[in-house]
Chains A and B, each alone.
Chain A
Amino acid sequence: MNFFEEEIAKLSRRVKKIGENPIPGKLKSNKLLYEVELELRQQQLEAWHRNRPFVEPGLFQPLLQALGFEIGDYIMAADRTSHADQHFDTVRTMGFPDSLCDRTIVQLAMLNEQHMPPPVLVVMHNNACEAIKLSANALGRLSNSQMYAVDVPVNAEENPEETLAYVTAQLHELVRFVEARFPGHKFDEALFEELLEADRVATECCRAVYEARKAVPCPVEGRDAFRELRLPSWFSNWRPVVQYFREWRDEMVERAKKGISSMQEEKLRFLWAVSGPFYFDPFPLLAERGVAVPFFHYGMAGRMWGELYPNYGEEHMFGRILTPMEEMARFVMYNSWAGLGHRWLNDTLRVARDLKVNGIVNFIQVGCTAISGLNTLLAENSERELGIPTLNIEGRMLDATFFDQSEFETRMDVFIDSCLDRKAAV
């Protein structure tokens, strides 16, 4: 089975189960979420069978969908694979380094093993990390696709207007590039704007949910906080996805208002950062000890969840309404990982302060180029500026062979104990 077929099987089971036997206390909106994801995978599988053109879109899903491509979510597919061991073997056979961040190399193996369709276009970007940029380059080479590189300045804060103009001009050039090289692909501006609007509504919902996360006891379960966000423009049928975001928001806000939580007593709350083990659920262990994890902080979180950077249509950053293409450019200017180090450090502390957490679990993904070198600084700064500790814990998101569960649990226990002691002392 290829990746889409496996996802279809998995999601079909979930949809069936949740329909027949909903678990009390779980979010009702999950049903719609599974349904839209199932539809996405079915539609992607069909598109592959019909030889439709897939694109690795970088972070420009609305633009690439409006240019007539099927959105291939290669990296996020890697996050969900159930064949990590096999893929790592393939990675080694292909000559790629197995010590680089898991998802970025596993996507190459998945392509090689035909778990995913080859893209006809790869839009590279440097707006998250070196690993994603390099891996996109390799993806393009392996699939013999057309390639376009979008360059986003690392030091965007120094001159936002210049950066905005520079990135916007590249996106216009990308449109011309596609129209010149892919006959029949014409930029559908109305669709582009519609997709941006869908994403705007979704991220507005995310903001409301972010506010709800501040409630004590925490209305969000750790596993849900850890869930990867997929905006509507990543789906070819995006309208029900917008509906999902609305239902989910309503549920979360209501839970916060009514004080509904799966936790009896919230003793502590942690911010979880960077990554985590996808083959092991650490959250029950935390919940058992009364630790809530209201938020997962990663590179795009500050923009997608809207708590740090402006949403589409907001004027305050540039003092004017931006054009749709400028909005697309602004979207990628503020990945917390993609700047100089102080961006990630400051953004992480801002979220930690905002959510009033007692500690940060900084899951250092092996081979993560974005945070390598910032972890000690993060621990020092969280202590100095917020008076809270950071647990720097190294691990891999997909390679389970790297993981020592008992050591992980011991370190987590010790960290929880020390945070409880600190709280008691205050």
Chain B
Amino acid sequence: MLDLMSGFVVELRNAGLPVSLTENLDAMEAVKHIPIEDRAAFKYALAATLVKNEQHWKAFETVFEVYFSLRGPEYNVLDEDGEIDEDSLEEWMSQQMRGMGGQGSAEDMSPEEIAEMLFRALMNADEAMMAAMARAAVTQFAGMEPGRPVGGTYYLYRTLRNLDLDGMMDRLMEEAQQRSDGDMTPLQERLEREEFENRIEDLKREIEAEIRRRLVADRGAEAMAKTLRKPLPEDVDFMHASREEMANIRKAIQPLTRKLAARLARKRKHKRKGPLDFRATVRQSLSYGGVPAEPRFRNPRPNKPELVVVADISGSVAAFARFTLHLVYALQNQFSKVRSFVFIDGLDEVTHMFQDEEDITNAVHRVNTEADVVWVDGHSDYGHAFGVFWENFGSEINSKSTVMFLGDARNNYHATNAWVVKETAKKARSVFWLNPEPKSYWDTGDSVITEYATHTDGVFECRNLRQLEGFVDNLA
């Protein structure tokens, strides 16, 4: 167990999870109280001690499945040290081949038979049967051979293709219609469909898990974990985020903007004292027999700082802009005054679009369709856009403003008008620039980031949440 656990924790760290020594010890203590056979409980107990961030749950679960899926009563093929026990493995494999005991081997089942059994299992939400059919399907369709250097997705794809789950969905809905004598309301139909979709998702997960178990048996946990490693949500590049990853990123932005607002407010706080705290002064005076020898002051009410955001939404940063707009939207709630501007070769204020729309999707849609950001040809021209900014809004920057520029500073070899940034910095409290490009690309090609950077309080590479958070933390 000791070896298994330490291998497991090493892999969690490799996957990027920040497991401290104390947490590691807590986990070792925890597993003494919960039997490994109770797999769900065992998993949650480990998670409670090792994972302190919900965003890391998925990464944890993957590693857990790899390290512990071949343990427990059903698949006891790993010995104490996590090595594969050849005898039990053989027995397990042949069980897999036999498929569901008693009813003939999975090898003997025709694809039609599998489809039929699966249909019934899905219809009746029969979990045991679903799991059995998942195993049978993998045996039949995945075409797994030991030692082949193919990843799990390939086998998953082959299995699913053969199962025709879309066709299955139609059949399930038809059956449901019939059972209700054909008078389902649209609402009922929607709910029925969602229920089946859920069961099919469960089935897919079961198939994936089955494939993974066999791959682990074939290749060993360590190698398998390595192939499955994915960036943590905070390390996902904004530019290449999938839909699902983007949704995660959006969720994480809210607390971050709150922290940003707090940080900026705190910076002011240190400068002066607040009003006299009467109660505290009297309380203190008791140590001096009632003489108010040491006056106490309240913390000054932090001033809500004002924020000005100027964001590039051109094609070269399209994916970043998607993130930027969400960031701006979240910021809008945290600062008493936020003014937002977007630009390509022209520049437009979009503050009101964020204020009017309660729904972020609508706000983003309006920015993308209504903002007047094209001046000549819709190719980036920072110089011109900044010129417009200064001319129309420069007078409104004051010593309370924090200005944030967001963009890659790829200027298509136009004039930079860097003086706008310089003048802005003179008037504003602080000026920052967040650049979504890797540092190694800065100032290559048509990137002129340094020309702007020299006038700011700092330029930060900002390609993922971790870097954004780092920026916020460094403000203190």
A, B assembled together: no
A residues neighboring B (CB under 8 Å):
none
Residues in chain B within 8 A of chain A (CB atoms): none
